[in-house]
Amino acid sequence: MSEELVWRIAGGSGDGIDSTSQNFTKALMRSGLHVFTHRHYPSRIRGGHTYVEIRASPEPVRSRGDGYNFLLALGDSFARNPQEEAYYGTEEIKPLTENLDDLREGGVIVYDEGLIDVEDVPDFEARVEENDWHVYPLDLRSLAREKGREVMRNTAGVGATGALLEYDLGHIEDLMADAMSGEVLETNLEILEAAYQQVDDLEFSHDLRMPEGSHDSEQVLLSGSNAIAYGALDEGCRFISGYPMTPWTEVFTLMAQHLPEVGGISEQVEDEIAAAALALGASHAGVKAMSGSSGGGFALMSEPLGLAEMTETPVVLVEAMRAGPSTGMPTKPEQADLEHVLYTSQGDSNRVVLAPGNVREAYEQTRTAFQLAYDYQLPAIVLYDQKLSGELRNVDESFFDREPNADLGATLSEDEIAEAAHHASGKFQRFKHDPGENGVSPRSLPGQKGGRFLATGNEHTPEGHISEDPDNRVAQLERRMRKLEAIREELDGREESHQTLHAPVEDADYGILTFGSQQGTVEEAVDRLAADGHSVKSLGVSEMMPLAEAEVTAFLESVEEALVVEMNGSAQFRGLIQKELGRFGPKMNSLLKYNGNPFEPAEVVEGFETIVDGDEPAPTTRFVPAAGD
Amino acid sequence: MSAFNAIGEEREVERDEYTPGIEPQATWCPGCGDFGVLKALKGAMADLGKDPEEILLATGIGCSGKLSSYFESYGLHTIHGRALPIARAAKLANPDLEVVAAGGDGDGYGIGGNHFMHTARENHDMTYIVFNNEIFGLTKGQTSPTSPKGHKSKTQPHGSAKSPIRPLSLALTSGASYVARTAAVNPNQAQEILVEAIEHDGFAHIDFLTQCPTWNKDAKQYVPYIDVQQDDDYEFDVSDREEAARMMQKTEASLYEGEVLTGRFYHEADRPSYGEEKRQVGEMPDEPLAERYHDDDYEWERSYDLLDAHK
């Protein structure tokens, strides 16, 4: 009996790999297991190698782990030329050739012999023997064809999986009944059952079985993008504007689907400049608004972003990073837009940037982003990446049980406006020089009596008139900058920190620093290192602007040396820490990865051992020693 | 009447109420056509009895963009070419606002051309004034999208090889439901057209010819003009798309030959505005969205219930 199952389903894009795996993940969660998925797909609509990995365990799962132990290789049905039944290149056998390297020793392989000929897979027999793999060829394609349609071989594969792992298919059947009806449902259920029976009659040579677990409370299965959308909805966001771009589209789609249901407005517009401009316009008129994009689209937003800073208009922007520069690799994760998001647009940056480290944080920090944006009247950006965007994870439903927040922050009622400061001409002093400690001048909303002002991207006087007066400039700029200090103080004073310390060893000698989606992977690596006797802890940082100075400083002061783990080639996060704190250069080593795949725990372990034992880092990563070394 | 604002109170409004404590001479040169737009807008708003507090005037960048500085209302001086997307969202968020957007020919037909096309297509209920003086003014006299072919400037010293954009035709093909051209040299017509455009329930585009005495030396560039509605030679039906298109082509072809035709070119009265269309398909609430945030009785939905699909 194994502790965990890591099930990988592989095939061609468009073969239903994603939907099948989502259903299976949900079924596993309903059976009482903790789940975590990892998605790998090419930038193609149909065909091309794609896989989804589901890690399921009785214990909470934080990352995809290293390797997997069950492969369902469905074949790439779109690799065939429909006229000649010929295959393009080696696409046909990729579900096997591209996946075998990560399959653990003793693992199980089910492949569709209706689509894949193992004769074409180099050294297949030898590798099977060498790694003690257990292979079950099944003609899933014919089975699906006979009973229904070829595309239903996914269902057959899941049925076969159930039998091989001695897993009750009840939850799968329930989910199918929710998703389909009539003849389609009947056929799928029939195929599921037939595949199960066909395999059940075989002699098994493997020991792998479905692990058993139970949950104390009701669970929901969410991706990072889902969590951001729900965080926004709960925080009272009722306006979204966007332009489709992978992977930001996942937030946009969910919001567009639900906003009209809850009385909100969703707008798909002509480009990302317009998208950010609309969010700004809606917010200016008194609605909680959001927009977002991925790297290239966010680049277009830099002008409206600057306008939001100058006019002190609250707005939340989401940036879902993918590999760049330019179009880069549209479906592959990277964390190389950090500096872009921190500093894009002209002038001194005056914005909040939060980078959640997992699904729960994605929800919470989206809410925080709205609170800060509206309380302090500036843009707040939720920065995450393609990995967190697409990974599914189970979360206690009770985690979400909280009240929506309709508070627009420092916004005056008409009665309050009547009492507020006005210019001799009758204009409301929207941008009052000295409103108080936190630098926030309360605002009026268009339509309110007595609240007239001009909002302009030019430097302006308290009532909004354009001005290049040096004293006014200094007063306005310093007031705007003061907001960031106030936000830093507020965040530091919160009961729950947004930084995630993971310290299995107290007073550890070594530290690993990371940000965003790599947090869980690093934590798993730290556990392994600690189990091996290493004195190490980690800190996943989420507050990038203003930077979580006190916590990062305390962490770095407490260790002899640190490893900074991030998915880019220029050590942007380490650079930010050095820039903001002005020290620790000699203490920080970098472990970088930028091949389009996120870190795996073993790579972080090897990177860490490079510092301690002088070992070589994993070949997929790059180690940059500390400035002091 | 809205729960959180003063919109809806009817009263007589004096022109002077739209005059702020700041002088347009700060940016506009003596003899500038932009004064004509400002005057006509004040007149039109006074005619309609619009309270300055219910007007949101969004402008782009350039001499024209300063309109929001010199007109007293809620003002939004934005970024080059982007007044439209900002303004249309404000209108969706609070349909009670009287939203007017304004920009120049570079701003509106050049850098903001894409937004112009799409805002017209969606037929947002707003008025869009484009100050068209066929030149970049505030950056000191470069060729603009409406400069005539052959126009010489410091950035095109050999004369522009480009044909000018055709704003009226572009607005019509894009889907604007009201299209007019007027000129600063004809204040009465300008004011009348503005009144009609603001009252129109849909996207009203006004190509407003404004002379630039500094960079387009001929300060009388739009004189004499002909009012197409008052001249029997130009009889056509403003509600007929094909006839309007034909007239627009005539106007746009003759503008650079000294024959300046102004007036209403297209008026589609019965087409629902974008907000109305959106309401009909269930994509927009009946009451202004912005009001929700001030309504203590409004019950906000939690994602808690939406999470059922994820169980």
Helix or strand or coil: residue A541? strand
Neighbour tally for B239: CB within 10 Å:
12
For tokens 């040579």, the residue is A205
A57: pLDDT strictly greater than 60: yes
Measured between beta carbons, the chain B residues lying within 8 angstroms of A240 are none
Q: Are the beta carbons of B293 and A236 closer than 8 angstroms?
A: yes
φ/ψ of A521, rounded to 5, equals: -65, -45
Mutate to test the interface with B, among A171, A259, A273 (most CBs of B within 10 A): A273
For tokens 């006299």, the residue is B141
A467: pLDDT strictly greater than 90: yes
DSSP string, A492-537: HHSSS-SSEEE-SSTT-SEEEEEEGGGHHHHHHHHHHHHHTT--EE
Confidence of residue A77 (pLDDT cuts 50, 70, 90): confident
Smallest CA–CA distance, residue A606 to chain B, in Å, is: 37
Average of per-residue pLDDT across A516-521: 98
Task: Provide the pLDDT for residue A83.
Answer: 57
Name the residue among B62, B43, B193 with its Cα closest to residue B140: B62
Confidence of residue A174 (pLDDT cuts 50, 70, 90): very high
Neighbour tally for A613: CB within 10 Å:
9
* Bond before A247 cis per omega within 30 degrees: yes
Mean pLDDT, chain B, integer: 94
A87: pLDDT strictly greater than 60: no
Tokens at B50, concatenated: 């619009």
Of A230, A241, A448, the CB nearest to B89: A241
Q: Are the beta carbons of A378 and A11 closer than 8 angstroms?
A: no
Cα separation, B263 vs B256, whole angstroms: 17
| Chain B contact for A453 (CB, 8 A cutoff) | yes
Measured between beta carbons, the chain B residues lying within 8 angstroms of A271 are 114
B2: pLDDT strictly greater than 70: no
Confidence of residue A1 (pLDDT cuts 50, 70, 90): very low
Q: Are the beta carbons of B179 and B248 closer than 8 angstroms?
A: yes
What totals of helices (H) and strands (E) does chain A contain, helices first?
21, 24
A7: pLDDT strictly greater than 80: yes
DSSP label at A55?
Answer: E
Cβ contact A239–B22 (<8 Å): no
E strand or H helix at A73: strand A68-75
Name the residue among A297, A316, A329, A340 with its Cα closest to residue A228: A316
Q: Is B11 left (phi over 0), alpha (psi -120 to 50) or beta?
A: beta
| Chain A contact for B284 (CB, 8 A cutoff) | yes
Q: What does each C-alpha distance from B107 to A113, A187, B114 come to in angstroms?
A: 62, 59, 11
pLDDT tens per residue across span B87-110? 999 999 999 999 999 999 999 999
| Chain B contact for A467 (CB, 8 A cutoff) | no
Confidence of residue A181 (pLDDT cuts 50, 70, 90): very high
The CA-based dihedral angle spanning residues B271, B274, B276, B278, taken in that order and rounded to the nearest 10 degrees: 130
Cβ contact A451–B53 (<8 Å): yes
Measured between beta carbons, the chain A residues lying within 8 angstroms of B11 are none
Residue A448 CB partners (closer than 8 Å, separation 6+): A412, A414, A417, B4, B5, B6, B53
Name the residue among B127, B34, B130 with its Cα closest to residue B87: B127
A343: pLDDT strictly greater than 70: yes
Q: Are the beta carbons of A518 and A494 closer than 8 angstroms?
A: no
DSSP label at B8?
Answer: T
Q: Which amino acid is at B57?
A: L
What angle separates helix A601-613 from helix A519-531, to the nearest 10 degrees?
Answer: 50
Cα separation, A546 vs B2, whole angstroms: 38
Average of per-residue pLDDT across A490-499: 97
Neighbour tally for A459: CB within 10 Å:
16
| 185-224 in chain A: CB under 8 A from chain B | 218-222
Cα separation, B273 vs B88, whole angstroms: 12
Cβ contact A274–B292 (<8 Å): no
Measured between beta carbons, the chain B residues lying within 8 angstroms of A30 are 311
Cβ contact A400–B87 (<8 Å): no
A442: pLDDT strictly greater than 70: yes
DSSP string, B96-161: TSEEEEEEEHIIIIIITHHHHHHHHHHT-SEEEEEEE-SEETTTTSEE-TTSPTT---SSSTT---
| Chain B contact for A374 (CB, 8 A cutoff) | no
Of B68, B79, B303, the CB nearest to A233: B303
ipTM: 0.97
Helix or strand or coil: residue A56? strand
Q: Are the beta carbons of A315 and A283 closer than 8 angstroms?
A: yes
Neighbour tally for A87: CB within 10 Å:
16
CA A330 to chain centre: 14
Of residues A87 and A622, more confidently modeled = A622
Of A230, A447, A457, the CB nearest to B79: A457
| 159-178 in chain B: CB under 8 A from chain A | none
B240: pLDDT strictly greater than 70: yes
A44: pLDDT strictly greater than 90: no
Average of per-residue pLDDT across A492-514: 96
| Chain A contact for B149 (CB, 8 A cutoff) | no
Tokens at A297, concatenated: 């689209």
Tokens at A127, concatenated: 């590798």
* Bond before B145 cis per omega within 30 degrees: no
Of residues A78 and A444, more confidently modeled = A444
Measured between beta carbons, the chain B residues lying within 8 angstroms of A218 are 311
Of residues A194 and B224, more confidently modeled = A194
Of B20, B56, B278, the CB nearest to A446: B56
| Chain B contact for A168 (CB, 8 A cutoff) | no
Tokens at A317, concatenated: 């922007």
Q: What is the helix, strand, coil percentage profile of chain B, to 5?
A: 40, 15, 45
Measured between beta carbons, the chain A residues lying within 8 angstroms of B73 are 452
| Chain B contact for A230 (CB, 8 A cutoff) | yes
Task: Provide the pLDDT for residue B231.
Answer: 92
Of A285, A397, A453, the CB nearest to B94: A285
Q: Are the beta carbons of A488 and A567 closer than 8 angstroms?
A: no
Confidence of residue A286 (pLDDT cuts 50, 70, 90): very high
Smallest CA–CA distance, residue A173 to chain B, in Å, is: 15
Cβ contact B86–A278 (<8 Å): yes
Name the residue among B131, B138, B46, B124 with its Cα closest to residue B87: B124
pLDDT tens per residue across span A225-265? 999 999 999 999 999 999 999 999 999 999 999 999 999 99
Cα separation, A73 vs A96, whole angstroms: 6
Instruction: Tell me what percent of the residues of chain A surpass a pLDDT of 70.
Output: 98
Cβ contact B69–A262 (<8 Å): no
Cα separation, B193 vs B177, whole angstroms: 14
Cα separation, B108 vs B104, whole angstroms: 6
Average of per-residue pLDDT across B35-46: 97
Measured between beta carbons, the chain B residues lying within 8 angstroms of A273 are 82, 85
Average of per-residue pLDDT across B56-82: 97
DSSP string, B255-293: GGGT-EEEEEEEE-TTSPPHHHHHHHTTSS-SS-HHHHT
Cβ contact B82–A230 (<8 Å): no
Tokens at A220, concatenated: 């929901």
Q: What does each C-alpha distance from B242 to A623, B103, B173, B178, B206 come to in angstroms?
A: 68, 28, 11, 14, 19
Residue B142 CB partners (closer than 8 Å, separation 6+): B135, B136, B153, B154, B155, B156
B11: pLDDT strictly greater than 90: no
Please tell me which residue of chain B has the smallest CA distance to A309.
Answer: B78
Q: Which amino acid is at A232?
A: A
Task: Provide the pLDDT for residue A80.
Answer: 64
pLDDT tens per residue across span B115-167? 999 999 999 999 999 999 999 999 999 999 999 999 999 999 999 999 999 99
Give the pairing of strands B98-104 and B55-59. parallel
Helix or strand or coil: residue A412? coil
Cα separation, A404 vs A597, whole angstroms: 36
Residue A458 CB partners (closer than 8 Å, separation 6+): A310, A466, A467, B77
φ/ψ of B153, rounded to 5, equals: -150, 180
Mean pLDDT, chain A, integer: 95
Cβ contact A282–B92 (<8 Å): yes
Beta strands in A246-367 (DSSP E): 265-268, 289-293, 315-321, 352-354
Cα separation, A265 vs B259, whole angstroms: 46
Measured between beta carbons, the chain A residues lying within 8 angstroms of B92 are 239, 265, 267, 282
Task: Provide the pLDDT for residue A628.
Answer: 63
A619: pLDDT strictly greater than 50: yes
DSSP string, A84-136: TTEE-TTGGGHHHHTTGGGEEEEEEEEEETTT--GGGSTTHHHHHHHHT-EEE
| Chain A contact for B253 (CB, 8 A cutoff) | no
Beta strands in A525-582 (DSSP E): 536-541, 543-545, 561-566
Please tell me which residue of chain B has the smallest CA distance to A257.
Answer: B283
